[in-house]
Structure 1
């Protein structure tokens, strides 16, 4: 079988199986094995795999029951989240903070009026939307919705599409937001304003968990915004005006089981208006008499329509389906981005010795407090170990030469990430 054809055939077989009435244990087991191969799923034990099979079987029944309905405008599928119970899904894939919403003070502003609003609009076709990202098992949807909106307005104003760093927001935006424990887009916008910009995804990549704020990366202000605005609550007309101007971040209820297993079509619910998830509206359109929003999610491209969902618009409910009209906001950009910084030059260690950019000077031979011989550590802002032979990264500054590891102290405990940090315990490089 051709490698490129195999995923397509497997997806077709999964869809065919969901459309059939066969549901014997052996059939479900075969389908599960195919699903595991498709999504690269492995489990730590036979018991864990058996449990995931039972969850998969329950989701299979739910998906099949929904897809047998002839009057639904959308369909479900055994997507990459099909081995999670709805409770597990809600605990790991959301992240809009209810507490942050409660204490927020709306920053209301009339949107720029678009006199002739087009019948349909897709900011992806205008080059203002980056690739679909995956928040993984971290409640950082708020960060992805915020960066998506900033990426969009930055491209519209400057003509340059730059993927921005969710990890910077997760690690460093700690005034009101709480990393993987949840947050709100308004506070993320305010953080970027106060920080005078945000770094790129390439320079400060996403890790899927909260880490120590990188003080060097936070000063890499590549893209700036000047303000942000909240669309008045439950005002779909002004929301449409805002989306006609730029991509807009919104809060929704994303915890329904049908939302978890959504595949394609125009999502109409049912769902509550208890907001627990953040997404990005990147356009709108109409199909078969139904108006819809084009919504970018942050659960990877194997969810929904390559990472997107169409959600019904003009539903007749002021809150909108899943509360999509209740918590819309967008960044405002009027000023240019700062010029790119000059590439760093070599670091002077002594009168005649230098280390390259991104390296740290470490003394190899010292006498009476004076260094007579220098070496370079191939890490930026590193800590030089007392053995005068090794160095550790700045965020794991405690050297353990006997174990070839670097540690840090958290509270009363000393911890290390051996598998990740052992590689950073390095000898000084030669001149």
Structure 2
């Protein structure tokens, strides 16, 4: 089925906030990703487990960044999102004092909710009495509460919601935020994703299903997208929040525009709970739909920030789709070699890196890629960052449950 071509609708990215294993803040994250220096390391919180390493946000002090009250009553996945959102709003030059809050929406992707809260409070219940369980357990643990807390923090009275399409959640949130702007339901939307699930129970679950790398002896080289020796992903955490406005409104406001979101496509494999459809047809339909939505031909795409998880199945399936649709012209990278896989936050963090690639004309390298899998017939950037003119870029995301999402961006 050929996707229906629509009249292009441009949404401006006017603000960006990033909190990742590569650092806190856009500049820090971008420098680390462009350097190609991995972040995976031994994680004391996972000591004694079969997989005892991760990509954790370094030096995140919730007390210092958010204050004592927020640090105490918010789970870490919400804390990360609020810090990223405040960065994004500051970058966009927006505050509740400068907008009509009834026209501001919040859409945030998340999958697992407050796993740290859930696991710690379950231990308190089992090892103690019901009176030992915090009365904040439910509001801290519920995944939807990140959107609610963000709305409270920035006084956004428009729609607020959480998208839960597993590792495609952040991309889905950005696509749906664009729909709210197209429908003129909102004038500004904070969109992105967040995840912090580096807990013993969650990491053990991922390990038991065979998703994680087992390179305990050298965790720094464990996340190696597209490499012939890859053996699984490295669990990470983080948040990426974008401030989105209609491009015409952003120009009228006289604000700086980082890039434009011009296309979105989402599909389902309807194939398997955790494995991608080996034909890649679901991902292909999402990508072709996004290109048609943008009114952009495949041969116009200059760069792809791929999902590139470092798992044997994902990387080959995704690479075949990218080659089939886009050919070998685009320069491809996976930033998960540096950040690990931040699960529901992956799509929005990688959307942020795609925006920065367009803005700076620089494509980060795929860290730890030393020997390209011979089944992957793509122009993958490795070794060091590459400077190149980029006018059109794509970010792709896939998630457990067969969720696929693709975003198309153009330079400002």
Shared fold, TM over 0.5:
no
Q: TM-score, normalised by structure 2?
A: 0.24
Instruction: Decide which structure has greater helix share.
Output: 2
Structure with max Cα Rg: 1
TM-score, normalisation: structure 1:
0.24
